[in-house]
Amino acid sequence: QCLPLFTYPEQQKQCLPLFTYPEQLKQCLPLFTYLSKFIKDDYCQVLEVTNKILHSDGFRGNFKMAKCKCAALIKMARYEETVKFIRNDLGDSNHKNLRLQLAYEHSYSLYRTFKNEEALEILVEVEENSEVSNIAIDQLNELKAQILYRLEESSEAKKLYKDLIRNCADDFEEDREINLLACEAAQSLKNGTLNQNRPGSCPKVKMTKLSATMYEAYYNRAIIHIGNGDYSKAEKSLKNA
């Protein structure tokens, strides 16, 4: 319960593609009119229209339309279908770059179905292909940190959150601070357990000074203090929570 629910970011402004085929655009124009009508709230209709566009000449393998389809599926929590679309429909060698461009959607869908090792492999593959375009690195690192936390790699997740807090300026700053504290809480509990078996074998976790004041932050601070054996400090943090 330490980590807040990871929500899929809005994609509406990124969904419509740029066109280089006027005649094909003319043929699909009614479909794009429908897409503009439904894109804000009717994801079932978005999916239906997007499928038709993706099967039209000139739009097969179109990045922004493929991303739009993935966004609609994810909004409807149809994660397995998202993975199937990326792996099967875009599975041939001609679409390798497109699959890499959809790494976030691919990995996130695996993450939401608790296939954490597979989700991490997708992100690592992107890191090894630096020439891939249309990739938001901070967004990928955010997801990678969540996956690493689930895999109990709290030290690596903590490093990523520190970098994200340092480099990002948006409305999710406090969420990242809470998540960083969650990583330290996991480390503290692990060290505390080891110290019970072998006293003094692990040092206390030094808590990062952060400004987060939501109850989850104080809860995570309390867990850190408990792992460190500082029960009076833990009690104070729980009262603040």
Please list the alpha-helical segments (H only) found in 39-150. 43-54, 63-75, 79-84, 96-101, 103-112, 116-127, 137-150
Amino acid at 145: A
Residue pLDDT, tens place only, 68-119: 999 999 999 999 999 999 999 888 878 888 999 999 999 999 999 999 999 9
Whole-prediction pTM: 0.83
Secondary structure of 42-63 in HEC code, one letter for each residue: CHHHHHHHHHHHHCCCCCCCCH
What is d(CA 148, CA 209) in angstroms, rounded to the nearest whole number? Answer: 22
Q: pLDDT tens, 172-190? A: 999 999 999 999 999 999 9
pLDDT at 38 over 80: no
Percentage above 70 pLDDT, the chain: 88
165 has a pLDDT exceeding 50: yes
CB < 8 Å & 24+ apart, contacts of 230-235: 230/204
Number of CB atoms found within 10 A of residue 182's CB = 25
User: pLDDT-derived band of residue 7, with 50, 70 and 90 as boundaries?
Assistant: very low
- How much is the average pLDDT of 26-34? 74
Q: What is the pLDDT of residue 217?
A: 96
Element spanning 225, H or E: helix 215-228
Q: Confidence band (pLDDT; 50, 70, 90) for 13?
A: very low
Higher local confidence (pLDDT), 28 or 181 = 181
Which of 12-16, 55-59, 100-104, 191-195 is the least confident region? Answer: 12-16
